[in-house]
A and B are shown apart, each in its own frame.
Chain A
């Protein structure tokens, strides 16, 4: 008879290690599975930032992490969307909110009606019909009143200081009753396509029925088993360098991240409580690291302090993230661009899949195939969403951006883009992180409009259409004015400044 899993050994560092260990402990610790976290030295740089989607709420809920603590200890800020500026020539920036936009009339999506009105000369941007987008532009947090919930599902993700967030997760993980070791990884013993044990520099050897590789890009465990290695996606993305810096905080605190395209790539500004984290993604064909360092303050228009940390940027997917008894989670399994707030999403996805497809026996893990297929599907969809920004850019006559438009486009993405243009529909798969409203938002935002709107649209008299639009805008303005401001929320955690007067 086969033996059930008794011990899980999670080897890794930073958020990936602690989220994996805590997640597995919460899911399987209660049935007696022992979770052992082996902590390797951090690879974080001082100003690293994690930018996450609203699904982080669900993750924290599962892990028992109080939102208050995330705010208190991880320098967190709320983000209701991403603002893209400069991606389409001289067109104004647009907001991609974590929310729907407008309401359908009958069976026809709002976007068709908007497009008709827009053609007829109405110049109200699409995003103005989204509570999430308007709220983000006004620095609100997503506390919708009941009256707004049928119309909107505005939600917020977090921007997190990577180091403090890791510390917070560690504290939770240690409190949850896992075993904990610390050291430098010396050796991974592999036999018969499985990890037998890991040995640390201090000579200690650690075994396990199931190993989780949360070592990040080093992929120290899985790389011993996965002979094929990761598929590179570098040929799909135009940038190959990344730079991280710290900028002054912006006041009042914006509740969106700002993604500014420029000649050589893009610069992202991610508000945190104590700073604006700045991440630049660029191509060394266009500018040197030095040039980039000098460009950041100009492009971000906030004072920049401290050193810039530069690294090469590679993307790719390990199609065999689970081999034998070893599952890679996080960056050991997939590398994406730091775009669209997906810093934790691959980890979250992998962890959920592992929990759902937990191996029943220690000696055979047939779930691996299913896991790998599902995981790859999810990741490809995220990648496609990121690529869509590049493919749809309208910065003409700039080599990087011209290239970004013309690079190889994965078939599924090409199909999405063309279907939307032809019909206003977004063909979705069931493993998509981004939904119809997200795709619609960025496609319209990048000016990828419908060739023609739905025929039923003409059934609504123009006057009625305008009236409905106006009512919607008024309703949104009212709802947003009653939402809480992010800066008020932040003040509740900010350290008090000494005051000389009352």
Chain B
């Protein structure tokens, strides 16, 4: 018989581990459940992962974080979206904003109306109908959360922060709420002979830590999920061929931009993430197409500020565990899989896992039905993000390097093929309701990558041209009004969440 779940052991203290700890401590509490986190300073964390997506606000509010404090503590800036440079072709740039284009009408998305306007010879780029893109261009920012003016669009945003400081901040909160942290390297584990459930893990110093439920946040190695349970791995590297990254922070060269920049390179792409005090950089590449040394040199030569550390190389395989939950172990974070950081989805997938674990949290017993459900749902999440990422590479005009020739012509999943076809014909992206990246994101990326629809949804013809024009102008007008009232990103940070280190400096 299974034991009642009383003690939860979190294996690993990276971003994943501490996010899990803080969320469980807040929602389950530490009165009825004993929450323990084991981490090894010697092994350390991945430590990169600085850009997020807006859903993180939900996690923060569940945990009860004060936004301004969190931002001060993590040197955070605001992020309105991602600029993609050189992705469609060299010297081209487009923006994937958070938020919306225009206002949906008649049950179909705004983009169809815009396509109609454009086909009829109308002007004005669709990007002008998105407030985040416009604010990003002007390097402006405003929190509009408490603003209920329905005639001006609200501003959707995420953060760019120091991931290690974020984990540290969550650690402080978790410990305050009674999470126990144990320092040490896990060297072994013990399973129940009958059920195969993990009963305890053993540390290098001989200490044994028992538990009823284990959350494996041990990073790429997957200490329990893979090394003990051999969950297996869906390897997606034929479609997402990047497998290494070299990362380095550099000094900032001006006020931080309110967005992340991704610049396509010969064998992958490079990120630029501005924080309050420095800029994070990294070249994500495929080792098949460029050597580590070359990639490192390329990165170092392209920095727009003094490097502040030695470049650090990380290796990974894109993909996901075949099973995320086995017996009394659930893997979360890098131990469950990695889809490469192009759309800053890793932290989000951690958060999704946490939400699902809480929703399906076992009472007395671990129900196999729920476990299967969890595994299916988690797989579905990764799978759809994967297709979105593939589209960035595959829909391109670049043919200047072997890497781009490969991704442009590679085999892609059937479901994605269908989407691209439908988009080409009528601007629709066939998004599922529960998909992370919605029609807006697909539109921004597919259009930005150069796939311009030849048609649009017929419902967009249902209003008169005058009406259409008036609505377009009204939307644009709201955006202008909103922009006029926005301070610069730097000004907003200064008055809302300037990091202390800067204030005292």
Interface residue ranges, A against B (CB under 8 Å): 66-68, 72, 140-141, 143, 252, 481-485, 487-489, 491-496, 500-502
Contact = CB atoms under 8 A, between A and B. Distances in A.
A491 B466 contact: no
A141 B480 CA distance: 14
Interface in B85-107: 91, 93-95
Contact of A495 (B123, B137, B477): B123
A502 B95 contact: yes
Contact of A502 (B127, B465, B480): B127
B484 to A, nearest CB: 9
A364 to B, nearest CB: 44
Given A68-B465, A484-B474, A502-B94, A494 B137 contact: no
A68 B466 contact: yes
Given A66-B465, A491-B123, A492-B122, A143 B474 contact: yes
Contact of A492 (B136, B469, B481): B469
A492 B466 CA distance: 12
A143 B479 CA distance: 17
Contacts of A68: 465-466, 469
| Chain B residues touching A, majority SS | helix
Contacts of A488: 473-477, 479-480
A492 B94 contact: no
A495 B121 CA distance: 10
A66 to B, nearest CB: 7
B133 interface: yes
Contacts of A141: 473
Given A491-B123, A502-B83, A502-B93, A481 B151 contact: yes
A143 B124 contact: no
A483 B124 CA distance: 20
Interface in B12-34: none
Interface in B450-491: 465-466, 469-470, 472-477, 479-481
A484 B470 contact: yes
B125 interface: yes
Contacts of A493: 122-123
Interface string B126-137: 011000010011
A66 B466 CA distance: 9
A492 B480 contact: no
B128 A491 contact: yes
10 contacts: A66-B465, A66-B466, A68-B466, A141-B473, A484-B477, A488-B476, A489-B477, A493-B123, A494-B124, A495-B123
A140 B470 CA distance: 12
Contact of B124 (A72, A140, A496, A500): A496
A125 B229 CA distance: 80
| Chain A residues touching B, majority SS | loop
Interface residues of B, number: 30
Given A66-B466, A484-B476, A502-B136, 10 more contacts: A67-B466, A140-B477, A483-B477, A485-B477, A487-B480, A488-B476, A492-B122, A501-B93, A502-B95, A502-B137
A143 B470 contact: yes
B117 interface: yes
Given A66-B465, A502-B94, A484 B473 contact: yes
The 7 closest A-B pairs by CB, nearest first: A488-B476, A488-B477, A502-B95, A489-B473, A485-B477, A484-B477, A502-B93
Nearest to A483: B477
Contacts of B91: 500
A487 B477 CA distance: 8
Contacts of B121: 72
A405 B83 CA distance: 63
Contacts of B477: 140, 483-485, 488-489
A171 B470 CA distance: 25
A496 B123 contact: yes
Given A485-B481, A487-B480, A502-B133, A492 B465 contact: no
A481 B465 contact: no
Contacts of A484: 470, 473-474, 476-477
Nearest to B474: A484
A482 B151 contact: yes
Contacts of A483: 477
B469 to A, nearest CB: 6
A355 to B, nearest CB: 25
Nearest to B122: A492
A494 B476 CA distance: 14
Nearest to B97: A502
A252 B476 CA distance: 13
A496 B470 contact: no
Contacts of B117: 492
Contacts of A481: 151, 481
A483 B95 CA distance: 29
Contacts of B476: 484-485, 488-489, 491-492
Contacts of B137: 501-502
Contacts of B465: 66, 68
A491 B477 CA distance: 10
A339 B472 CA distance: 33
A485 B480 contact: yes
B153 to A, nearest CB: 13
Nearest to B94: A502
Nearest to B127: A502
A494 B474 CA distance: 16
Taking each of B136, B151, B473, B474, which has the highest tally of chain A beta carbons within 10 Å of its own beta carbon?
B473
Interface in B122-160: 122-125, 127-128, 133, 136-137, 151
A141 B124 CA distance: 18
Contacts of A494: 123-124
A373 to B, nearest CB: 38
Contacts of B474: 143, 484, 488
Contacts of B95: 502
Given A68-B465, A143-B470, A502-B133, A496 B125 contact: yes
A494 B480 CA distance: 16
Contacts of B479: 488
A228 to B, nearest CB: 46
A471 B4 CA distance: 65
A67 B473 CA distance: 14
